[in-house]
Amino acid sequence: MTLPLKTKKTQVRRAPKRGQYDFEAIAQILDEGLVCQIGFVVEGRPVVIPTAYGRVGDKIYIHGASASRMLKSLITGIEVCFTLTLLDGLVLARSAYHHSMNYRSVVLFGKAENVTDKAEKMTALKAFTEHVMKGRWEDVRSPNPQELAATCVLALPITEASAKIRTGPPVDAEEDYKLPIWAGVLPLTMATGSVITDPKMTAEIDIPENVLDYHR
Protein backbone atom coordinates (compact mmCIF):
# COMPACT_ATOMS: atom_id res chain seq x y z
CA MET A 1 0.00 0.00 0.00
CA THR A 2 1.44 3.36 -1.03
CA LEU A 3 0.26 6.43 0.82
CA PRO A 4 1.66 9.97 1.29
CA LEU A 5 2.89 9.15 4.80
CA LYS A 6 5.95 11.40 4.90
CA THR A 7 5.20 15.11 5.22
CA LYS A 8 6.80 18.11 6.88
CA LYS A 9 4.87 17.25 10.04
CA THR A 10 5.81 13.58 10.15
CA GLN A 11 9.45 13.83 9.06
CA VAL A 12 11.74 12.63 11.86
CA ARG A 13 14.27 15.37 12.59
CA ARG A 14 15.97 14.10 15.74
CA ALA A 15 18.01 10.99 14.77
CA PRO A 16 16.47 10.95 11.26
CA LYS A 17 18.09 7.62 10.39
CA ARG A 18 15.62 5.99 12.79
CA GLY A 19 12.64 7.27 10.85
CA GLN A 20 10.59 4.94 8.66
CA TYR A 21 7.72 5.93 6.42
CA ASP A 22 6.55 2.78 4.66
CA PHE A 23 3.02 1.64 5.42
CA GLU A 24 3.92 -1.94 6.37
CA ALA A 25 6.40 -0.86 9.05
CA ILE A 26 3.83 1.50 10.54
CA ALA A 27 1.02 -1.08 10.37
CA GLN A 28 3.15 -3.71 12.11
CA ILE A 29 3.73 -1.43 15.09
CA LEU A 30 0.06 -0.45 15.23
CA ASP A 31 -1.02 -4.09 15.19
CA GLU A 32 1.25 -5.00 18.10
CA GLY A 33 0.31 -2.09 20.35
CA LEU A 34 -2.68 -1.98 22.66
CA VAL A 35 -3.03 1.58 23.95
CA CYS A 36 -2.46 4.81 22.03
CA GLN A 37 -2.55 8.48 23.03
CA ILE A 38 -4.86 10.89 21.24
CA GLY A 39 -3.73 14.53 21.38
CA PHE A 40 -5.93 17.48 20.44
CA VAL A 41 -6.72 21.04 21.48
CA VAL A 42 -10.08 21.93 23.01
CA GLU A 43 -11.04 25.38 24.24
CA GLY A 44 -7.47 26.51 23.70
CA ARG A 45 -5.95 23.82 25.93
CA PRO A 46 -4.00 20.73 24.88
CA VAL A 47 -5.49 17.39 25.91
CA VAL A 48 -3.95 13.91 25.59
CA ILE A 49 -6.18 10.89 26.22
CA PRO A 50 -5.01 7.24 26.30
CA THR A 51 -7.39 4.84 24.59
CA ALA A 52 -7.62 1.47 22.87
CA TYR A 53 -8.00 1.19 19.10
CA GLY A 54 -8.27 -1.17 16.16
CA ARG A 55 -7.01 -1.10 12.57
CA VAL A 56 -8.66 -2.13 9.31
CA GLY A 57 -6.54 -1.51 6.23
CA ASP A 58 -5.50 2.13 6.12
CA LYS A 59 -7.81 3.29 8.91
CA ILE A 60 -7.51 3.34 12.69
CA TYR A 61 -10.77 3.12 14.61
CA ILE A 62 -11.45 4.45 18.09
CA HIS A 63 -14.74 4.27 19.92
CA GLY A 64 -16.52 5.14 23.13
CA ALA A 65 -19.70 6.53 24.58
CA SER A 66 -21.38 9.18 22.46
CA ALA A 67 -21.13 11.52 25.46
CA SER A 68 -17.32 11.23 25.59
CA ARG A 69 -15.67 14.67 25.59
CA MET A 70 -12.85 13.39 23.40
CA LEU A 71 -15.14 11.91 20.76
CA LYS A 72 -17.46 14.92 20.81
CA SER A 73 -14.42 17.14 20.22
CA LEU A 74 -12.87 15.01 17.48
CA ILE A 75 -16.13 14.64 15.61
CA THR A 76 -16.03 18.37 14.83
CA GLY A 77 -13.06 17.83 12.49
CA ILE A 78 -10.25 19.28 14.60
CA GLU A 79 -6.64 18.22 14.05
CA VAL A 80 -5.61 15.03 15.84
CA CYS A 81 -2.18 13.71 16.81
CA PHE A 82 -2.10 9.94 17.40
CA THR A 83 0.96 8.43 19.11
CA LEU A 84 1.95 4.92 20.10
CA THR A 85 5.15 3.51 21.65
CA LEU A 86 6.32 -0.07 22.14
CA LEU A 87 9.19 -0.38 24.62
CA ASP A 88 11.59 -3.19 23.69
CA GLY A 89 14.50 -2.70 26.08
CA LEU A 90 16.52 -0.53 28.44
CA VAL A 91 19.82 0.56 26.91
CA LEU A 92 22.35 0.83 29.75
CA ALA A 93 25.46 2.74 28.75
CA ARG A 94 28.76 3.41 30.49
CA SER A 95 27.81 7.05 31.02
CA ALA A 96 24.56 8.47 32.32
CA TYR A 97 24.39 10.74 29.28
CA HIS A 98 24.17 7.85 26.78
CA HIS A 99 21.49 5.79 28.52
CA SER A 100 18.56 5.18 26.21
CA MET A 101 15.76 2.78 25.31
CA ASN A 102 15.07 0.49 22.39
CA TYR A 103 11.60 1.25 21.09
CA ARG A 104 9.23 1.33 18.14
CA SER A 105 6.88 4.29 17.87
CA VAL A 106 4.31 5.77 15.49
CA VAL A 107 3.13 9.37 15.15
CA LEU A 108 0.12 10.08 12.96
CA PHE A 109 -1.64 13.32 12.09
CA GLY A 110 -5.10 13.81 10.64
CA LYS A 111 -8.77 14.45 11.23
CA ALA A 112 -11.15 11.83 12.56
CA GLU A 113 -14.21 10.87 10.54
CA ASN A 114 -17.54 9.95 12.12
CA VAL A 115 -18.58 6.42 11.14
CA THR A 116 -22.33 6.35 10.54
CA ASP A 117 -22.65 3.36 8.23
CA LYS A 118 -23.89 0.44 10.37
CA ALA A 119 -21.85 -2.16 8.50
CA GLU A 120 -18.62 -0.17 8.84
CA LYS A 121 -19.43 0.53 12.48
CA MET A 122 -19.79 -3.19 13.17
CA THR A 123 -16.59 -3.89 11.26
CA ALA A 124 -14.79 -1.33 13.41
CA LEU A 125 -16.09 -2.83 16.65
CA LYS A 126 -15.05 -6.30 15.48
CA ALA A 127 -11.59 -4.94 14.64
CA PHE A 128 -11.35 -3.39 18.10
CA THR A 129 -12.35 -6.65 19.81
CA GLU A 130 -10.02 -8.77 17.67
CA HIS A 131 -7.19 -6.32 18.25
CA VAL A 132 -7.52 -6.86 22.00
CA MET A 133 -7.64 -10.66 21.53
CA LYS A 134 -7.78 -12.62 18.29
CA GLY A 135 -10.75 -14.96 18.09
CA ARG A 136 -12.71 -13.15 20.81
CA TRP A 137 -15.39 -11.76 18.47
CA GLU A 138 -16.66 -15.25 17.66
CA ASP A 139 -16.92 -16.14 21.37
CA VAL A 140 -19.01 -13.20 22.56
CA ARG A 141 -22.40 -11.63 21.97
CA SER A 142 -22.34 -9.01 19.23
CA PRO A 143 -23.46 -5.44 19.98
CA ASN A 144 -27.24 -5.02 19.87
CA PRO A 145 -29.00 -2.02 18.26
CA GLN A 146 -29.17 -0.11 21.53
CA GLU A 147 -25.45 -0.58 22.17
CA LEU A 148 -24.60 0.45 18.62
CA ALA A 149 -26.69 3.61 19.00
CA ALA A 150 -24.93 4.47 22.27
CA THR A 151 -21.46 3.96 20.77
CA CYS A 152 -19.59 6.56 18.76
CA VAL A 153 -17.00 5.22 16.31
CA LEU A 154 -14.42 7.43 14.62
CA ALA A 155 -12.02 6.54 11.82
CA LEU A 156 -8.58 8.10 11.51
CA PRO A 157 -7.02 7.59 8.06
CA ILE A 158 -3.36 6.49 8.07
CA THR A 159 -2.20 8.99 5.47
CA GLU A 160 0.25 11.24 7.31
CA ALA A 161 2.41 9.14 9.62
CA SER A 162 5.91 8.04 10.52
CA ALA A 163 7.57 5.35 12.60
CA LYS A 164 10.71 5.80 14.67
CA ILE A 165 12.72 2.81 15.77
CA ARG A 166 15.81 2.35 17.92
CA THR A 167 17.57 -1.01 18.19
CA GLY A 168 20.96 -2.28 19.27
CA PRO A 169 23.50 -1.72 22.04
CA PRO A 170 24.46 1.54 23.75
CA VAL A 171 26.54 4.04 21.82
CA ASP A 172 29.10 5.47 24.22
CA ALA A 173 31.74 8.13 23.79
CA GLU A 174 34.87 6.44 22.38
CA GLU A 175 36.94 7.09 25.50
CA ASP A 176 34.27 5.52 27.74
CA TYR A 177 34.55 2.05 26.20
CA LYS A 178 37.64 1.44 28.33
CA LEU A 179 35.82 2.14 31.60
CA PRO A 180 35.29 -0.90 33.90
CA ILE A 181 31.50 -0.46 33.80
CA TRP A 182 28.99 -3.07 32.60
CA ALA A 183 26.92 -1.91 29.64
CA GLY A 184 24.28 -3.59 27.50
CA VAL A 185 20.57 -4.00 26.85
CA LEU A 186 17.91 -5.35 29.20
CA PRO A 187 15.11 -6.61 26.91
CA LEU A 188 11.52 -5.91 27.98
CA THR A 189 8.49 -7.92 26.90
CA MET A 190 4.79 -7.99 27.75
CA ALA A 191 3.97 -10.98 29.94
CA THR A 192 0.63 -12.30 31.16
CA GLY A 193 -0.19 -13.40 34.68
CA SER A 194 -2.50 -16.13 35.93
CA VAL A 195 -6.01 -15.94 34.48
CA ILE A 196 -8.67 -14.71 36.93
CA THR A 197 -12.14 -16.09 36.20
CA ASP A 198 -15.05 -13.72 36.78
CA PRO A 199 -16.58 -14.67 40.18
CA LYS A 200 -20.07 -14.09 38.69
CA MET A 201 -19.69 -17.00 36.27
CA THR A 202 -22.84 -19.13 36.60
CA ALA A 203 -21.51 -22.26 34.90
CA GLU A 204 -18.33 -24.29 34.67
CA ILE A 205 -16.81 -23.12 31.40
CA ASP A 206 -13.29 -23.93 30.30
CA ILE A 207 -10.94 -21.00 29.80
CA PRO A 208 -10.61 -20.44 26.02
CA GLU A 209 -7.33 -21.41 24.40
CA ASN A 210 -6.79 -17.90 23.02
CA VAL A 211 -6.88 -16.60 26.62
CA LEU A 212 -4.50 -19.25 27.93
CA ASP A 213 -2.09 -18.79 25.01
CA TYR A 214 -2.31 -15.00 24.80
CA HIS A 215 0.76 -13.15 23.59
CA ARG A 216 1.63 -10.16 21.46
In the chain, the percentage of residues whose pLDDT exceeds 70 is 92
| Lowest mean pLDDT, pick from 6-20, 40-54, 167-181 | 6-20
Q: Distance (Å, rounded) from C-alpha 157 to C-alpha 79?
A: 12
Q: Tell whether the model's pLDDT for residue 15 goes beyond 80.
A: no
The string of pLDDT tens digits covering residues 149-179 is: 999 999 999 999 999 999 999 999 999 999 9
SS3 state at 13: coil
66, pLDDT greater than 90: no
pLDDT score for 216: 82
What is the model's pTM? Answer: 0.88
Torsion from C-alpha of 46, 16, 24, 70, nearest 10 degrees? 0
Residue (of 93, 87, 84) closest to 52 by Cα position: 84
Name the residue ranges covered by the structural domains of the chain. Answer: 16-88+101-167
How far is 19 from 105, CA to CA, in rounded Å?
A: 10
Q: Looking at the predicted structure, is the pLDDT value of residue 46 above 60?
A: yes
Q: What is the CA radius of gyration of the chain?
A: 21
Q: With a cut of 70, say whether residue 13 has pLDDT above it.
A: no
CB atoms within 10 A of CB 77: 11
What dotted CATH number matches 16-88+101-167?
A: 2.30.110.10
pLDDT at position 10: 66
pLDDT at 3: 56
Segment 128-148 shows an average pLDDT of: 94
**Alpha-carbon span 65 to 8, nearest angstrom:** 34
Half-sphere exposure of residue 29: CA atoms within 13 angstroms, side-chain side: 27
